[in-house]
Amino acid sequence: MKRLLLAAVTAACTLSMGISTSFAQDGPPQFQPVEMWVCQFNDGKDQGDMDNVYEDLVEETGDSAYAAFQLNAYFRVNQEFDFIYLGAWADGSTMGSGIGADMAGDSDSSEGWDETVTCPASLMYASTWINPPGDSGGPEDFILTIADCNVAHGSSNGQAIGALQRYSDYAKANGSDVATAVWFPAFGGGNTEFDFKVANVYSGPQHFGDSMQWFTENQAYIARGNITEGIVSCDSPRVYSGSTIMNNLQPN
C-alpha cells in the first residue's frame, strides 16, 4: 500500500530535537507528516482511472484527519513523471492510525492504485507552517511552488527559518497573502543535497501572477535579500498546478 511508511512519529520527534527552536514564538515547532509519491501511469491507464482510485480512497478514509492532493508539473526541468501525490496528516498519531488501517488488509483503493500507477520515488517530510493559509483551508485548485534551500555555513536551521519568517512577516505587512510552509526531509531521500524545501501556496493562476507583480512593484527581492543573505539560499522554484482530492484538515 502506498502509505506504508514506518516510524514517522519518530522522524518528527527527531527533527524537533535537531532544529533550534529560536524561531518559535509559542514553544517548539509543530510538525505535520507529509508524504510525497512521484508517479507514472501504467500502460493503458490514465487520469480517469486515477480519479476512480481517489473515489475509493476518499470513501475509505472517511473523516480521518488527512488531506490529499495531486500535483501536475508546469514549470520544471528534468522531472519526468505524470504527477505527484501529496498526503498530509494532522499529526504523527493520526498518521499511525492511518498506517495501521492500511496494514490491516487490502482495500479497493490500494488494489486500484497498484493497477493504475507505478511510483518509483516516495518521500516523507516533516512540515511546519511559516504563514498558514486562511480560515477557509485553501481552494480546491491551486498553484504550488517548491524550492530547495540550503543553510549557510555557520548558520543553524533555526536561524534560517527565522530569516524566512521575518521575510514572510514583512511580505504580509506589505500586502502579500501567500501561504508558506517548510518541509524537512525525514525518510526516503537518502543523501539529500538540500537542508529543507520551501512550499508556497497560491489560490490559483491569477493569485500566482498577482503575487509576482506585487514582488516586482514592491521590490520585495531587496528586502528578501537583506533578510536572508548569508543565512539561507534557495534555488529556482518548480511550479505545479494542484487539485484537492480531500481535505479533512481544514476548519469546519
Q: How far apart (Å, rounded) are the C-alpha atoms in residues 179 and 132?
A: 5
Q: How far apart (Å, rounded) are the C-alpha atoms in residues 93 and 9?
A: 7
Cβ density class 137-175: b for 16+ within 10 Å, e for less: ebbeebbbbbbbbebbeebbbbbbbbbbbbbbebbeeee
Q: pLDDT per position in the chain (252 positions), as tens?
A: 443 333 333 333 333 333 333 344 456 678 999 999 999 999 999 999 999 999 999 999 999 999 999 999 999 887 789 999 999 999 989 888 877 776 776 688 989 999 999 999 999 999 999 999 876 555 689 999 999 999 999 999 999 999 999 999 999 999 999 999 999 999 888 788 999 999 999 999 999 999 999 999 999 999 999 999 999 999 999 999 999 999 998 754
* Overall pTM > 0.95: no
**Residue 251 confidence (pLDDT):** 58
Q: How far apart (Å, rounded) are the C-alpha atoms in residues 165 and 129?
A: 10
Q: How far apart (Å, rounded) are the C-alpha atoms in residues 68 and 61?
A: 10
**Residue 105 confidence (pLDDT):** 61
What's the grid cell of residue 238?
518548480
Q: How many CB atoms lie within 10 A of CB 55?
A: 14
Q: How far apart (Å, rounded) are the C-alpha atoms in residues 193 and 78?
A: 16
In sequence order, the 6+-apart residues with CB closer than 8 A to the CB of 32 are 88, 89, 90, 91, 126, 127, 128
Helix (H, G, I), strand (E, B) or coil at 183: strand
Domains of the chain (ranges, CATH numbers):
8-247 (3.30.70.100)
